[in-house]
Chains A and B, each alone.
Chain A
Amino acid sequence: MAASRLIEISPVTRVEGHGKVTIHLDENNNVDEARLHIVEFRGFERFIRGRLLWEVPVIVQRLCGICPVSHHLAAAKAMDQIVGVDVLPPTAEKMRRLMHYGQVMQSHVLHFFHLAAPDLLFGFGSDFAKRNIFEVIRQNPELGLRAVLMRKFGQEIIEATAGKKIHGTGAIPGGINRNLDIATRDRFLSQVDQMLEWSQGALAIARGYVEDHRALVDSFGSFPSNHMSIVREDGALDLYHGKMRALTPDGAPIFDMLNYNDYHKHIVEDVRSWSYMKFPFIKELGPETGWYRVGPLARMNTADFIDTPLANEAHGALKAYSGGKLNHSTLANHWARMIEVVHCVEKIRELLHDPDLQGTDLRAVGERRHEGVGVIEAPRGNLIHHYKVDENDQVTYCNLIVSTTHNNEGMNRAVKDVAITHLSGQPKITEGMLNHIEVAIRAYDPCLSCATHALGQMPLQVEIYDAGDRLVDRAGQCL
C-alpha cells in the first residue's frame, strides 16, 4: 500500500508576495485537503498607530509595490471623513479618479500580459522554461510591445497625478495636492485612442481564450460563491466610490446599497491557525456559506451595467456567456480584467476632456471626526481601510481588509478543486500539474504580501504530506 503523501508548492511564481500550498493525500494518493498558507506577517495595522493622520495615505501605500495607489486612495478616503469632508472639490475627486484608472489599467495589463498570458498562450502544462513573458514577446513581438506601452501609459498617468510612478503623494485628507497641466493632458490625449484600440485587442484575446476553452474554463477552479463589491448608486460599475453590494451564487442580494461605514456590521473576519491571512465572511450567512469572492469577475457579477459604451458592450457579452446568471469560473477573471482595462481607458479619455482637471480648488475642510472608513475597488477587488484618530491627530486604530483576504476562502477552494481534478491518484507529481494549482491561485491575482501586510517577494512552494502528516514530497518554483 502506498503511503499517503503531502505535496507542497512553494513558492508560487508570478503572484505578488510569497505563498505555500500544502496538499494532504490519503493512502490512495487522493487529495484529502489542500490549503494555501500565508507565511509572512507584516503588522501594518499595529505600527501605523500613533502616526499623524495626514501621513497615513503615504505610509500605507508601502504595503504594496504593485497597487500602492489603491491603498493611498482608500486611506485618503478614510481621512477625508476624519477631516469632515464628504464631498471633495470636483478637481480633487477627478484627479484621484484619473490616478485610480491609470493604476487599475497598468496593474491589469501587468497581470494579463506578464503573469497570465504565458499560461493562456502556451498551456498550463507547457515547458516551464518557456512559460514566461520573454517567450510571449519572442513569439508575439507586437503584443509584447503593446503590453509594455500600455503599462507605461498607466504609470505615467499615476506619475502625473501622484508625482511619482510608485509611492507618490497626490491624495491628501480632503483633496489632492495638484491638478493636471495642459501640456501633460495633451500628451495623454495624443495617446489615448491608441490605448483604447490596444485594450480592445487585449479584451478580444481574453474573451477568445474563454470562448475557445469553454470546457476547461467552466470546470477549472469553478464553483458557486457569493460575490461582493461596491457599485454606484444606480448599479453601475464604479471602481472609485459607491455602496456595498453582495450577491448569492444565484444573484439574489445579501445586502445592497450598504453604506460602507457599516461594513463591520456585515463582514466578520475569522482566523485559522495555519495562516496569517484572515478569513472574512458575511455575518448574515455565517462562516460556512458566508464566504465570498471579490475582484474583476465579482464586479462584473455585481454591476448592473458599465457607464462607458465599449466596456458596457463587453459586459453584456460576458453576462450572455453565462446565460445572464452570475459567472463563477475562476478563469473568467481574465476576461473581466480586460473589460475593466477598456473601461479604465474610456474613463481616462472622458476625464482628459474635462476642464475640471485644470481647476485650482484642490482641498476642502470640514468639522473634525474621530473615525473614518475608505473603500475602493482595487485592481484585485474590494479594499477596506478603517481608522480611528484621536484629538491630537494620531491614529489609535486601524483595520485593513484587502482584496486577497476577501478572496482567501475562494482561493483555498480553487486550490482544492484543482488539486482533486489534476493530482488525485497520480503516482508522480509533474511540474505541469503543479502549475495548474498556481494558475488557479494566479487567476485571483493575489497579492499575498498585502494580505498579511507582509514583507518581501512571493514565490510559491507546494508540499505533500501523507496520512501520517509526514512530508514526503516538495516542489518549488523559484524565480
Chain B
Amino acid sequence: MSDPFTFRIDGVAVTAKPGQTIMEAADAAGIYIPRLCDVDGLRHQGGCRVCTVKAGGRSVSSCTQPAEPGLEVENNTEARNRVRRDLVEMLFHEGNHLCPICEKSGNCELQAMAYRLGMTAPTRFPYLEPCRDLDASHPDIALDTNRCISCGRCIRASQDVDGKGVFGYVGRGIHRRVAVNGDNLADTDAVLADKAMSVCPVGCIIRKNEGFRMPIGARHFDHGLIGHEIEEKSK
C-alpha cells in the first residue's frame, strides 16, 4: 500500500508516494504547477484555484488533490494557462496594484505569475478600485490591503505556526477579505518575527523600513520566471 506509483502529467511519467498531492509529486519531479495560496511549510488551503489541473477529466486543485496511480493530468496546456491567466488578471482588477511604486515589485509572486502566464496588461475587466486605508499603526509592520489577494497564508501561518490568530477572514462572498483581529495591527499581538509576517506573496504585509533596500537585479524574480527553481530540478 505504501509503495510508490506512477501517474502522468502532460504525458510525462511521474512517480508519487501514497498521500502526496499532485502538486507535491510534480514538484519532486521538476514539473511546476502555478500556485498562489499554497506555500511550503503551511497546510494546503485550495483557495486561489490557480493550480487547477484536469485530472481524469475533472478540474481539481492540484495542491489539495492526492495523486493516484495511472491518473492522466493536464497541466501546462494553453487551455489551463488561459484560465490561470484570467484568474490572475481578475486579482489585479480586484485590488489596487501599482507595481511601479510597490516595494514588493520583483519579489512579488502575483506579479511574477502575471509575467509567467503572459498577462501583459490587466485591461479586460472593470476595475473594482478599492481604496482601503493603509494600516501603519504597528512600529515594525504595515498593511496595505489594497494589494491583498486573500490567499490566506497569513491566517494559516498565524494560527498553525505562531499560535496566535492575528489575521482572519471577514465578510462573505465577493466581500470576503482578510482583516486583523483588532482595531488595527498595533492592537494585536503581532511581532515581526511571526511566521505570518514573512509569508505574504504580495506587497500587503510590509516589513517597515526595508522597502527598496534590495537593488534591482538582486530581487528574487530578476533571475528567472516564477517556478524556475522547481523546473531546474528536472534538467
Contacts and interface: CB of A to CB of B under 8 A. Distances in A.
A162 B209 CA distance: 18
A55 B134 contact: no
B101 A177 contact: no
Interface string A136-173: 00000000000000000000000000111001111011
Interface in B24-59: none
Contacts, number: 57
A384 to B, nearest CB: 21
A392 interface: yes
A167 B100 contact: yes
Interface stretch (B1-9, B114-122, B167-175, B214-222): B214-222
A172 B214 CA distance: 10
Contacts of B101: 55, 58-59, 62
Contact of A168 (B211, B214, B216): B216
Contacts of B214: 177
A51 B217 CA distance: 25
Given A50-B134, A55-B103, A58-B101, A163 B217 contact: yes
Contacts of A394: 134, 136
Contacts of A52: 134, 136, 142, 206, 208, 211
Contacts of A392: 136-137, 142
A58 B211 CA distance: 10
A59 B98 CA distance: 10
Contacts of B209: 54, 173, 393
A83 B209 CA distance: 10
A169 B142 contact: no
Contacts of A57: 212
A380 interface: no
B212 A54 contact: yes
A55 B211 contact: yes
Contact of A163 (B103, B210, B216): B216
Judged by DSSP, the binding face of A is loop
Nearest to B206: A52
Judged by DSSP, the binding face of B is loop
B138 to A, nearest CB: 8
A50 B213 contact: no
A394 B209 CA distance: 12
A162 B217 CA distance: 10
Contacts of A178: 215, 217
Size class of the contact patch on chain B:
10 to 19
Interface in A444-473: none
Contact of B103 (A50, A54, A62, A168): A54
A178 B219 CA distance: 12
Nearest to A174: B209
B100 to A, nearest CB: 6
B183 interface: no
Interface string A174-190: 00011000000000000
A50 B133 contact: yes
Contact of B215 (A54, A55, A169, A393): A169
Contact of A54 (B133, B137, B211, B217): B211
Given A62-B101, A393-B142, A393-B208, A51 B215 contact: no
Nearest to B186: A392
A393 to B, nearest CB: 6
Contacts of A58: 100-101, 103, 212
Given A52-B142, A163-B217, A393-B142, A172 B212 contact: yes
Contacts of A50: 133-134
Interface string A383-417: 00000000011100000000000000000000000
Interface in B68-111: 100-101, 103
A167 B100 CA distance: 8
Contacts of B103: 54-55, 58
Nearest to A60: B101
Nearest to A170: B215
Nearest to A59: B101
Given A54-B209, A177-B214, 7 more contacts: A52-B136, A54-B103, A54-B210, A55-B212, A58-B100, A162-B216, A177-B215
Interface of B: 100-101, 103, 133-134, 136-137, 142, 206, 208-217
8 shortest interchain CB distances as A-B pairs: A163-B216, A392-B136, A178-B215, A177-B215, A54-B211, A169-B212, A59-B101, A394-B136
14 contacts: A52-B211, A54-B210, A57-B212, A58-B212, A59-B101, A164-B216, A169-B216, A172-B212, A173-B209, A392-B136, A393-B208, A393-B209, A394-B134, A394-B136
